[in-house]
Chains A and B, each alone.
Chain A
């Protein structure tokens, strides 16, 4: 069977899955209500989003320069910065830092998903724990994320209860609080036993080398704060010139991800240090002694050259578009690959170079354009889709 036939079957199975539809319709209603409320409370966000679009347009054109600058800043903060040209390079750098037989706690990262980082580390004899609750569920289910921010959006509580009962060997109720407490208990010690903590980043300020980590659960703070080593894998599109720019990007990101303010935003620029004894700077006080940041290109600078498809790199990964997509509403992330919907199609064509997958996704887009109305970056998905289809048919 062809890729398209398999894909279509998967899509239709999802479309006939009542659970996905119920989970999604609830999520969509609550996303819209929360986002409208957040934008009403902080109306400056809309203007700020326009500013951010300008920041991103410029930054995407100079990713290599910004990555260089960020590496220098991180080095001067006594961390280590790396530029990985390809996914393979990134994995090689990580292999050298990690080795084998390590216990790793991980924050959720789409860039990690992109290069199948967890699977890679496990294959190299490491024990990896996803610490984001949704991602933890996905990992234990052996499934894949179905939304960029809410990876387990398609899994109802009954299924989580069943899964956690199996893991703990106890019969757990479907009470959500109980399930959250179970995950907390399962992961708690891992943070302190772990050799390495891993994360991505939502945005990075090149001038100071500062990573912005936006979250609500608190798992990223623990995963990047407790272990002795912190390794961050960052797509180069996350770089912006200054700390001020990064603050704006972060605020727009969480607002369109339906939050007035998230519970936690960590700014990490270097390893933990203290000068409290005789003003002698010593590294590895309470936090990690080592801080490594890998800026990954893997096709991004190439994608940036395309006048229309480069818009995919402006994406802040707020996930808003997905809640407005009529196809996503009935199929969730099955309308996707590494990323979802229109951006997923562009990614498959330009980054993964999987043309059959790209064609399948590109022709699943209705080109209805409602996602563009939602998008804080005003990414023109229909325009990208038509350009992607053209490119796919040209065999490029």
Chain B
């Protein structure tokens, strides 16, 4: 590890090697793609997987360095590594889910996989940002690629609708974010996060300009993480996009947006957390409640999972409302980790039922799935139970952790509202399980043996759901260490949460 230490080698571009790997991979995919028919695009997928694996390995070398690079524009800390690793896993599973899907639907393979890689690049940039401009840059790189991916099934009007809606609202929210960044720059004279934190910590009063800027940024991030009342695009975009891309949006985009959101607010604006936690209290309540209530009446599984993703973001914001102690930060990171695996597992099953040309994404289509495909049904059931928060699965420990952090911050009523929401959410999650196990007459699913990528994705999701739930200690430690590194303090080794 020391051989790669920045100070000894002095190559300042080493920290961006993972990013380079992903972008080179994307370009190679495009070059090779010229020769490949759309029906055989799986080979391009494997190429993308190789690039992602390389990036993952390179990312792991950055573990424990905790420095800044490019004059503070990039943060090379465990926080970045944590998010980059999860984003890379999510991207790899998205590609794995797409292998057969893209070929079956005759999607333009080269562009598809290249865009996925470019989106991943943007996400990683957001996770590793050291200043506000890099966050913006990452956000745009990611978003533009995702807009295109959402509308990738050109002949499907739903897909077009998804892309247009997502693009219009996304562009709108980007405007808010950029305006907010400009105002913060005006108020503090810098776009670097490190000096902003130092200035706030040394007692600079939060002036109206700064607060206005923060408010604008809050709105911008609110759109990207799909917090209520900025969530309107989510269900349509999730429903219309190709299903693997829906998974990618639910996991990758959400994680990247939270990575930026947390990096700015929780990690660097902790000194004035009283200014923004109250707003987040309200946003959390709205997001959880609206997400869960509207999810109750959905009949389409992608829309249901979209509203469920909104509600899940609400629980994350409960953690953010708890301020910037390292128990809150660790809890949020852990929650996102659990959410990522649970969502990936669930979406892998949704992709399995979806055959591009004929979408089988009504909840009614899942009736009787347990009889013909007990494995798929069990994977889906486990993920849905994890979403509900049933022990000993990942979702339960994550909720427990977030609620503990929020109670620790004295937010008793917020936690009570959150648990009532959890109880309500049981209704729609269990509705799908009811369909799979207790009813008959859904669609026949294609033999799964043809689609190893999907099986692997579902298996990885379920493995994560179980591992994070049964033995959470190492992942909790990693989450706390990652968050603490973003605070610019030396890493805690003997981590004890809730000191």
Do A and B truly interact?
Answer: no
Residues on A lying within 8 angstroms of B by beta carbon are none
Residues on B lying within 8 angstroms of A by beta carbon are none
